[in-house]
Structure 1
Amino acid sequence: MIPQTLRPYQARAVDDSEAARRGLIVAPPGAGKTTIAAEIIRRELAKPRAHPQAPRRLIIVLAHRKELISQAAARIENNTGHAPQTISAGRIEGPLGARVFVASVQTLSRRKAWLKQAAGGVSLVIIDEAHRSLAKSYQKILDELPRARIIGLTASPYRLDGKPLGDLFDQMITTAQPDELIEAGHLIEPRIFGRPLGGLLRNVKKQAGDYHKGQLSAAMNSGELAGAVVDHYMKLARGKRAVVFAAGVEHSRSLVAQFTAAGVTAAHLDGSTPANERREILDNLRSNDHPLDVVCNCEILTEGWDLPELGAVILARPTMSPGLYIQMVGRVLRPKPSGGEGLIIDHAGCVAAHGWPTADRAWSLTDREDRPKAAEALPGFSNCGRCFALFIRRGRTACPECGQPLPRSELRKPPIETREALTEYKRQKQQERQAKAAKNADRLYIRDVAEGDRRGYRDGWAAARYKARCGRWPTQELKAAAIRKIRNV
């Protein structure tokens, strides 16, 4: 057992979870969710039995991928001294008499007899990546454990279908905001290059709250991508370990072929990749001499996988989900042992749609997921052809980053935005635009609430207009502010 020293916000989260019957702990990437979970488990195991004849306290940890199961089991044993049993792929492995069970959701949901037998002793269920916990497979398990406390952990308390997580959890426990983690040295501020996608996805249908996978893959693999993925890797991140998030399996394989043709060692991962091959690929990326430079993947490395030395995340997969966006960019926000920077190269318009990745966010158990609105253009900006910096063109004759003179054409007229040019985003300008747009949307919503009240419309009329205008539902706080305004409270 390795004693662990909790960071102050981790200790607060563990303390707050003690009183929670169904608590959701929200921890940004790099905040140490597994460390928090291990301490909650250690404290639960140390509690005495409710009475002398009561069964020993048992704990179930739910995860949805094999890698997450083995990773969690190892960390729990190291931090608590209790070796868990694992329940995965139809097998139970580990020491007899274990009091902690790290289980695959898919496997455990089919073991109803085991759940009924264990139900009397299970005092705590911990759900990793708890934004998935409203799925039927999770509910089958929880229905058999009505007496157990439930603690969920997630970096992104959003569901693709927009259902609020308050349907399961009744208390949200926020650990720390990204700015606090950056100031403490637990996260790094990334450099970001990208551009909005414009109308590239106008003909892609929506499915289950996000873009239709087949149509999205075809659109992003059609040569109309908002920048040449390989070219920008060579210009911005050459020699760095990088992970590419592709729109589909064929798209990922196509990108690997393009990287290989350019002399970059690359490999592909998807859900059908055999476990031993997947392990070898990730080990090669992790190796100190990293014989592998780039891993292109489809829906594999978004959650529960960490490589502090990862130098770049390449977003080639648009998404309507802020939660998925946070998970993808979170892979590159950990401090590098070598002290290097973290790059986000956004070919998918994700930053323009969902905002700065390390911005503080307001979470809620009751509100629906904020949907992205159409990305705004970036008028009046120039993209340096030498260093790719993004800057306001007004009054300038040269790039403020590297001194490269602006072409005469850019001095006379706005630059033509091409798919080949990505621009560097600056956090302050990005947030200023978003704050101005949000303030205007809130003002119009309050006006609509007053108008709807005057005309006798239903409450949902103003909310529907708000969502149509800016792509998300009004928050409970905004609704309350609108009511106070029209009633002069």
Structure 2
Amino acid sequence: MTLTLRPHQERALDAMFRENKGQIVVPTGGGKTMIMIKDLLLNLELAEDLGHQLVNVVVAPRILLAQQLCDDFFTFLPDNVKVLHVHSGRTPFDSSTKTDEIKEFVDNNDDAHILIFTTYHSLNRVVDSEIEVNNIYFDEAHNGTAKSFFKSVSEVSEYAERCYYFTATPRVSYKHDRGMNNVNVWGTIIEQVSAIELVNAGHILSPTIVPFEHDLHYNKVNAYVHHALTVENIIDNIDDTVNPKVLVSVPSSRVLNNMLGHTSLLKELESRGYDVLHITSKYGAYVNKTKVNRTTFFKTLKEWGSKEEKRFVIFHYSILSEGINVSGLSHTIFLRNLNVIEMAQSIGRVIRLNKSDSDDIKEGNISPGVVSMYRKSTGYCVVPVHKNYGKKCKERLTRIVNDIFIEGGHANAVC
């Protein structure tokens, strides 16, 4: 399969060939994964010409994302690449978190190139295996600034031949050395792509902030009732001619459990023609009222997201904010004030183009950036606002949208 890059992706690739270490800052929806894949493929070709084995590592914040990245990479991989997963999740590929088995896998496949998928949590197992690393790609690299992950990130940064950090939201610090302004570990920003460029080129959409003012009484005791009624009211005010696909960020797993189990919310959504998905690390994944494994959950989400006639609401607590590829979403509702990175990532979930619009742009039927011609012209970010609730969330959301989509920079996060 041929992989053709967009102009901003080509610039990032050129920067990676000039520099052996650095940060690539690309807004959500800008195709960071395709840049990684193209860089890997070109380096595999060079290694073949020289007769060298390459050991390559891809680091993700979650097991789910590591598995998703593996699927994306595997579509383009040549036959002479052996894949190993280093994390505790299930996978059809070889997998281990034992350092001796990791080294043994590399040594026993010296006639092939190696591609390892791991998480920030398990990266230390790769480091401790003492294998050579030629290329390492960090997805959602701001995660590496966490205290529990930074040691492994900084260690591999010292000995990997080429080291690249991909993120939409760099996290800096002026109090310690873990921030991405520490150029010794993270390098400098070697390519930064503006969201304005991506919007004008027809790759993503600009978001629209929708403050939803209401007078429902709120306190912590009846929070789940309040939030359930809020979701109902917001759904009733959405233009349902477009078959909405709504992502809801809830305050906690406990609140979500009470919203769905101790109110009439599920029944009310069903009566309005909506299917419901929800997922938390505490209670697991559900499709409507049926508990499913995560593979089935994300397969269902992908299928429903691609069907224009389908309408659904998906509730989550943090697990869908970052990195997971969710297509077709039209609205996101903020029932809590997310941190800068989670909020920027949540915005990114709803600004992906409608597939038919994307196809028409590629075929020349629609001019890129002329959103009045799009079937989906924006992604809606809905903030419930009450006299004692929601104002800080609205202010943060407004600031982030201004930084990214008006000023053309990136959201500023501090670790």
Q: With the length of structure 2 as denominator, give the TM-score of the two structures.
A: 0.72
Alignment of 1:334 with 2:381, yes or no, is no
The 3 A distance-change label for structure 1 pair 144 and 154 is closer
Q: Please list the CA deviations of residues 154-205 of structure 1 after superposition, one character each: whole Å capped at 9, or x if unmatched.
A: 11113699863122312103342111111111111233311699xx99xxxx
Contact 1:10/1:175 (CA < 8 Å) preserved in 2?
A: no
Q: 2:312 aligns with which of 283, 286, 293?
A: 293
Contact 1:156/1:323 (CA < 8 Å) preserved in 2?
A: yes
What CA distance in whole angstroms lies between the structure 2 residues aligned with 1:311 and 1:325?
A: 16
Alignment of 1:43 with 2:55, yes or no, is no
The 3 A distance-change label for structure 1 pair 196 and 47 is farther
Q: How far apart are 1:272 and its partner, in Å? A: 3.5
Matched AA of 1:359 = I
Give unmatched runs, 5+ long, in structure 1.
202-216, 372-489
Q: What pairs with 1:286-435 in structure 2 (closer than 5 Å)?
A: 286-288=302-304, 293-319=312-338, 321-338=339-356, 339-341=375-377, 342-347=379-384, 348-349=390-391, 350-355=393-398, 357=401, 358-363=405-410, 369=413
The 3 A distance-change label for structure 1 pair 164 and 227 is farther
Alignment RMSD: 3.6
Which has the larger strand fraction? Answer: 2
What CA distance in whole angstroms lies between the structure 1 residues aligned with 2:173 and 2:225?
A: 27
Q: How far apart are 1:329 and its partner, in Å? A: 1.0
Q: Please list the CA deviations of residues 275-321 of structure 1 after superposition, one character each: whole Å capped at 9, or x if unmatched.
A: 752333333333346877111101100112223311211111203x3
What CA distance in whole angstroms lies between the structure 2 residues aligned with 1:271 and 1:325?
A: 19
Structure 2 equivalent of residue 146 of structure 1: 158
Matched AA of 2:193 = A
Indicate the larger mover: 31-40 or 60-69. 60-69
Q: With the length of structure 1 as denominator, give the TM-score of the two structures.
A: 0.62
Q: What pairs with 1:13-28 in structure 2 (closer than 5 Å)?
A: 13-28=12-27
Q: What pairs with 1:446-465 in structure 2 (closer than 5 Å)?
A: none
Q: What pairs with 1:143-222 in structure 2 (closer than 5 Å)?
A: 143=155, 146-148=158-160, 149-158=162-171, 164-167=179-182, 168-194=185-211, 218=220, 221=223
The 3 A distance-change label for structure 1 pair 176 and 112 is closer
What CA distance in whole angstroms lies between the structure 2 residues aligned with 1:186 and 1:100?
A: 29
- Partner SS state of residue 59, structure 2: strand
Structure 1 equivalent of residue 359 of structure 2: none
What CA distance in whole angstroms lies between the structure 2 residues aligned with 1:46 and 1:229?
A: 52
Contact 1:164/1:369 (CA < 8 Å) preserved in 2?
A: no
Contact 2:157/2:163 (CA < 8 Å) preserved in 1?
A: no
Structure 2 equivalent of residue 425 of structure 1: none
Alignment of 1:243 with 2:247, yes or no, is yes
Indicate the larger mover: 229-238 or 135-144. 135-144
Q: 1:262 aligns with which of 259, 263, 268?
A: 268
Matched AA of 1:313 = T
Instruction: Among all aligned residue pairs of Structure 1 and Structure 2, give the percentage whose two residues are the same amino acid.
Output: 20
Contact 2:196/2:408 (CA < 8 Å) preserved in 1?
A: no
Matched AA of 2:407 = D
Indicate the larger mover: 276-285 or 325-334. 276-285
Matched AA of 2:121 = Q
Q: Based on CA coordinates, which of the two structures has the bigger radius of gyration?
A: 1
Contact 1:76/1:83 (CA < 8 Å) preserved in 2?
A: no
What CA distance in whole angstroms lies between the structure 1 residues aligned with 2:35 and 2:317?
A: 29
What CA distance in whole angstroms lies between the structure 1 residues aligned with 2:127 and 2:395?
A: 45
Q: Please list the CA deviations of residues 5-26 of structure 1 after superposition, one character each: whole Å capped at 9, or x if unmatched.
A: 1101100011112232330111
Q: Please list the CA deviations of residues 96-118 of structure 1 after superposition, one character each: whole Å capped at 9, or x if unmatched.
A: 5442111123234245542x1x1
How many residues align? The count is 344
Q: How far apart are 1:42 and its partner, in Å? A: 1.6
What CA distance in whole angstroms lies between the structure 2 residues aligned with 1:226 and 1:262?
A: 10
Contact 1:243/1:313 (CA < 8 Å) preserved in 2?
A: yes
- Partner SS state of residue 106, structure 1: coil
Contact 1:25/1:154 (CA < 8 Å) preserved in 2?
A: yes
- Partner SS state of residue 321, structure 2: coil
Give unmatched runs, 5+ long, in structure 2.
95-104, 286-291, 357-374, 385-389
Q: Which gives a bigger RCO, structure 1 or 2 (Cα 8 Å, sep 6+)?
A: 2
